[in-house]
Structure 1
């Protein structure tokens, strides 16, 4: 798990690397996405927890967010399972609405300007039955580290200053959220 400035981005990018198998892929991805949303939604959030491989993960009990997470995880699974590539990404981008101006400083609407991005790099492998206990233990440790990274980053000065001023307090998030799915370098959905 790493957080850094994006290549040409002025906003932080937090990266979480996961090695998953077909038995854990959906549960783990749901849990990671839920935990990111839990730490980055600023509206009235009803918390929930999810138990994955012995690790308790925080989440948000909100029908729209749960549906969005489910759609993206299912899309990721479909593309990984049916495609040639067994590696992909789920990218969560938090943005703010800013006035968009033309060349002559004339207001021409609003644009989404990212302020933070979370990149989940996931690779699917199929461990042998003999290796299952070690695989599950390693994945459990990775989930624990991911939660630690989320807590450490979001409570740090850098994580707090990344959040722009909140001017719209309606809904569960005052900021637009985009969740993109990429498999084999191609974005889906």
Structure 2
């Protein structure tokens, strides 16, 4: 399921244009809050430091995105550090690489938390479908692989097409290749 498409579907055209002009951090915050609306979590996440340091937002987010990997005790745990450890275990079961530790979460490290959410977003975000929604017909589906994609080189092929289309749409994609997206190169991805 493409969560950004659902977010865009709820917005008027001018809202979509506004969304696409936001910096990546703001898009990730909107996406995260959009997902959290599907959970019992009622707070708004406005930053990647103090608002996520108790790991509750992460626990709810991952339960929405991958309930099949959830641990029921994560939300019952009172200690934020222990909850953060369980959140990271959940992320591991989803196949998300970690850029941070439980200590980074409870310390409210904004850059590492941003990278973590970006990776979750990228891992659960079908990029080609999103681009096709933004500009219908732009994706060459004859050469694209459909999920689930097991072979790494197929992921790279899809992401190479994402970069090519992004450049056609005048996105800022300097020095970024499909492999950078697949590998989760946070320095390049977060600069997009």
Give the alignment's TM-score, normalised by structure 1: 0.27
Give the number of the structure whose alpha-carbon radius of gyration is greater.
Answer: 1
Q: Which one has the bigger helix percentage? A: 2
